[in-house]
A and B are shown apart, each in its own frame.
Chain A
Amino acid sequence: MSAIKAMALASIREATRMRALHIVLVFAVVAIAAVRVFEAYSPGEEAKFIIDTGINLIRLFGLLSGLMLGAMLIPTEIERKTIHVILSKPVTRGQFLVGKFLGASAVVVGSALVMGAVFLAVYFHRFHASGFNVDVLKATLVVPFELMLFMAIVTFASTFSSQIFVIIFAVSAWILGHVNDFLGILKGSALTTGILHVVGAIIPHFDMFDLTRPLMMGDPVATELVWKPIVYALGWVAVILSFGYLVFNEREF
């Protein structure tokens, strides 16, 4: 465990000192705080605009920082031979992988929490008359887990590919994960449907982390719609990292 902790802490320390990440976070916070400036463009739909834009900005900037960190995660360590020294220590490849994932995820999730706090402050400042809406908090809470799942995909990709391919792979998985349900309703030949089913099974469904619909409809956000996707995300993280370990364990540096 100490090796995992050391790997994670080093990754966090390294990431939190990255100037590019600071810029992204500052830009994200400013953008989220400025959402209210643009709400006038959606007359009658201010709440929808603020929720949509706020939560999507958290996801967008979380995605960006995830990609930035992910591209550096393992490919850079291999390229710069840091991994040689690390693996010469009593550290298994599994510990290395999990430590890297936890470190990078912690940074992305931490950034998402900061952005989420800013968003909630903006939202409740605008709609303070309606009182504290716990459903907005719930809808915001699942986003970091969506990003954590994304980081697992990034980690998996980085076990076998170069930086640029990590980005392509992770973005493709993100896209497919969001259009999964859309693909599911397409009608086609048996072959097409079969392929779509396989794609649906091997790519996590990211759309289940979107809880904005009940907010739009004025429905309560059921607690099970929060914890079940979180469990789903953690399950996927475990599976993806296990696959990553199988690949990484056989990799030569």
Chain B
Amino acid sequence: MGFKKRAQRWLAGVLLLGCLVGLQSFHDHISRRRGDLRAAQPWEPYATGPEGIKTEALKLPIEELTGLVFGGLIAGFRHQAANITYWRMQRYWEDGHWPRVLGMLKLTCFLDPHFQAAWSMLGWHQAYNLSAEMDKQTFPPIPPERYVSDGMKSYERGLDYNPGSYMLYEDAAWTAFDKAGDMRIATEFLEKALLTWDPEPDVTKKGPLVYTRMLGHAGEKALDMEAALEAYQRVLRMDPDDSVGIGATFTIRERYLPAIRAAERGDIDRAIRLLTEVQWRRPGDPFVPGLLARIYEKAKKDKGAALAAWERSGREWRQKVARAEAYRLMAELGRLDDLGPLVADSQVDVRKLYEYVVWQMNPGGMGVLINIRLGPDGKTISDPRVEDGQVVRIDPSPDPMGRVASLPPGTARWFLNGVLIAEDNTSPYTCTLPLEPYRGSEMDKLLLKVDFVPDGGGRVLWDVVDLVPSWVKPKTEGRPGGPGMPQKMQMPGMPGPGGPAAPPSPSGGGQSH
């Protein structure tokens, strides 16, 4: 080949490379414009989050990333793949396979962050289904609050990609109101849902009325009676005959506003007196203890009295706001050790103790907290699952992502409050709980812990091999000193006689009317 020809070819090559550079900068320009005009397809969850791809990617259910989905993902058919994963999710949903539903929904949102229905389902699934079901399937149990919190985060993330989505504001508002009990966030989302209300997906076509009522309920629950009153006024402007609006307006004006006005004037004693009178007349009023607690704390600087009021409110009405406030005050007063009586009233709070106590004492390890509250006779064990001589077993189980786990041969060492109570080297690994020594003691909670050491050393990966405690029947029946109620009478989910009374139906602030 002649020099001239070779030079021509090199020149052409260089020119074309120059064109490539030009095209690249043109691409950058278009990409910027697509970003400005919100036309670029984001990558969820890689595009956001400070931790970047390495942590987030691992959270995707890789085992669900089938060839079809993967092909769709890489070949530019993400939306189609998202539709497929969404369909698959619906099948799992029908089967009640919650962990797989979670995986499919996460995958769907990853593939198509603009799939509003998928975000809506994800948030709902986490906040409602998983929070109710998954604690029975994982060990240590994941507190339901964590799932509720995840659900809220999912809504917020969905809203990042779909700002102005009425569907997501609506779902987020309801979950914050009903499940998370965070009235501040609920109010924020309710206001946005009202602003973005779209009659198309709203089946009732009464969204504005319903959500303005909810604003009122949220205001009441947050003890912001002024805001609640204003919301109910808005309701009445929309529908002057709305019974909820009329009733709530009367209630607030009659019961709470006089005390609130008195407190604003500085007449604290009168405010306390007025609220106490309401409490006497209507002992079931859910908001008076909280209002009193506020006045005690802010006006009278009496944190002890405020804590007592919150505790009363929390115990009797299971108000999450009350519990949170009580917890805050206990921390400020250095009385966190007293958590037991406060939180023992419901399953939810027992789980919270896991978070507070087990995970802090034994982070990442195994532990079962047995909560004991002495009954009126001073001897009853309040945890309905446990009785003296109870046999406890650990089993390998499928983890939340459906991977089958197995326990290798080894030795299980059981500790109760740090004291070795049993050692078992044959599967199934069990121990018998010796609770008798603790009966009548000062202690109101015990920590049962199991350490498992595989034969030949090594560690069991607890996050993969989750263990499920199986609460089996005692080996000896009719044992003296057993639970007060005979076994055959004990229904699943029903507390024993020493357990908490069934709480009143929590149906929001509107119940008071």
- A residues contacting B by CB (< 8 A) are 41-45, 48-49, 52-53, 56, 59-60, 171, 174-175, 177-179, 181-182, 185-187, 200-202, 204-208, 210-214, 216-219, 221-222, 224-225, 228-229, 231-232, 235-236, 238-239, 242-243, 246
Cα–Cα distance between A182 and B70 once the two chains are bound (Å): 14
Report chain B residues within 8 Å CB of A242.
12, 16, 19
Whether a CB of chain A sits under 8 angstroms from the CB of B212 is no
Report chain A residues within 8 Å CB of B20.
201-202, 239
- B52's nearest neighbour on chain A, judged by CB, is A187
Q: Which of B21, B83, B162 contacts A217 (CB 8 A)?
A: B162
**B114 to A: closest C-beta gap in Å:** 4
Report chain A residues within 8 Å CB of B114.
48, 213, 216-217
Report chain B residues within 8 Å CB of A59.
76-77
8 tightest Cβ-Cβ pairs between the two chains A and B: A178-B76, A52-B79, A216-B114, A56-B80, A45-B117, A175-B74, A239-B19, A201-B24
Whether a CB of chain A sits under 8 angstroms from the CB of B86 is yes
Secondary structure at the B interface, as helix, strand, loop or mixed, is helix
Report chain B residues within 8 Å CB of A213.
38-41, 114
Asked if residues A56 and B79 are in contact (CB atoms below 8 Å), the reply is yes
Asked if residues A185 and B74 are in contact (CB atoms below 8 Å), the reply is no
- A231's nearest neighbour on chain B, judged by CB, is B26
Q: Which of B23, B40, B74, B116 contacts A179 (CB 8 A)?
A: B74
Asked if residues A53 and B201 are in contact (CB atoms below 8 Å), the reply is no
Report chain B residues within 8 Å CB of A218.
164
Interface residues on B, range: 35 or more
Can you identify 17 A-B contacts, CB atoms within 8 angstroms?
A41-B90, A45-B116, A56-B77, A59-B77, A174-B75, A181-B43, A182-B46, A187-B53, A202-B20, A206-B76, A207-B76, A214-B39, A216-B162, A219-B39, A229-B30, A231-B26, A246-B9
Report chain A residues within 8 Å CB of B24.
200-201
Asked if residues B31 and A181 are in contact (CB atoms below 8 Å), the reply is yes
Whether a CB of chain A sits under 8 angstroms from the CB of B34 is yes
Cα–Cα distance between A191 and B164 once the two chains are bound (Å): 41
**B175 to A: closest C-beta gap in Å:** 17
Whether a CB of chain A sits under 8 angstroms from the CB of B491 is no
Asked if residues B13 and A186 are in contact (CB atoms below 8 Å), the reply is no
Q: A235-B19, A236-B23, A239-B16 are in contact. Are A225 and B46 (CB under 8 A)?
A: no
Whether a CB of chain A sits under 8 angstroms from the CB of B167 is yes
**B269 to A: closest C-beta gap in Å:** 55
**B122 to A: closest C-beta gap in Å:** 14
Cα–Cα distance between A42 and B23 once the two chains are bound (Å): 39
Q: Which of B16, B19, B30, B74 contacts A208 (CB 8 A)?
A: B30
Asked if residues A185 and B26 are in contact (CB atoms below 8 Å), the reply is no
Whether a CB of chain A sits under 8 angstroms from the CB of B33 is yes
Chain B CB within 10 Å — which of A179, A200, A219 has the most?
A: A179
Whether a CB of chain A sits under 8 angstroms from the CB of B93 is no
- B9's nearest neighbour on chain A, judged by CB, is A246
Chain B CB within 10 Å — which of A41, A45, A212 has the most?
A: A45
**A196 to B: closest C-beta gap in Å:** 13
Cα–Cα distance between A79 and B112 once the two chains are bound (Å): 44
**Number of A-B pairs whose CB atoms are under 8 Å?**
139
Report chain B residues within 8 Å CB of A210.
41, 76
Whether a CB of chain A sits under 8 angstroms from the CB of B47 is yes
Report chain B residues within 8 Å CB of A48.
79, 114-116
Chain A CB within 10 Å — which of B39, B74, B115 has the most?
A: B39
* Residues of B36-57 contacting chain A, CB below 8 A: 37-41, 43, 46-47, 52-54
Asked if residues B79 and A228 are in contact (CB atoms below 8 Å), the reply is no
Q: Which of A174, A187, A214, A236 contacts B37 (CB 8 A)?
A: A214
Report chain B residues within 8 Å CB of A53.
79-80, 83
Report chain A residues within 8 Å CB of B75.
171, 174-175, 178
Whether a CB of chain A sits under 8 angstroms from the CB of B87 is yes
Report chain A residues within 8 Å CB of B33.
222, 224-225, 228
Report chain A residues within 8 Å CB of B39.
211, 213-214, 219, 221-222, 225
Report chain B residues within 8 Å CB of A171.
75
**A215 to B: closest C-beta gap in Å:** 9
Report chain B residues within 8 Å CB of A44.
116-117, 120, 167, 201
Asked if residues B31 and A208 are in contact (CB atoms below 8 Å), the reply is yes
Whether a CB of chain A sits under 8 angstroms from the CB of B27 is yes
**A176 to B: closest C-beta gap in Å:** 9
Q: Which of A41, A52, A60, A232 contacts B27 (CB 8 A)?
A: A232
**Sample of 5 more A-B contacts, CB < 8 Å, known A213-B39, A232-B30:** A41-B87, A201-B24, A204-B23, A208-B31, A217-B114
Report chain A residues within 8 Å CB of B19.
235, 238-239, 242
- A224's nearest neighbour on chain B, judged by CB, is B33
**A2 to B: closest C-beta gap in Å:** 25
Report chain B residues within 8 Å CB of A236.
23
- B163's nearest neighbour on chain A, judged by CB, is A217
Report chain B residues within 8 Å CB of A174.
75-76
Cα–Cα distance between A235 and B27 once the two chains are bound (Å): 11
**B1 to A: closest C-beta gap in Å:** 9
Q: Which of B43, B74, B77, B112 contacts A60 (CB 8 A)?
A: B77
Cα–Cα distance between A44 and B29 once the two chains are bound (Å): 35
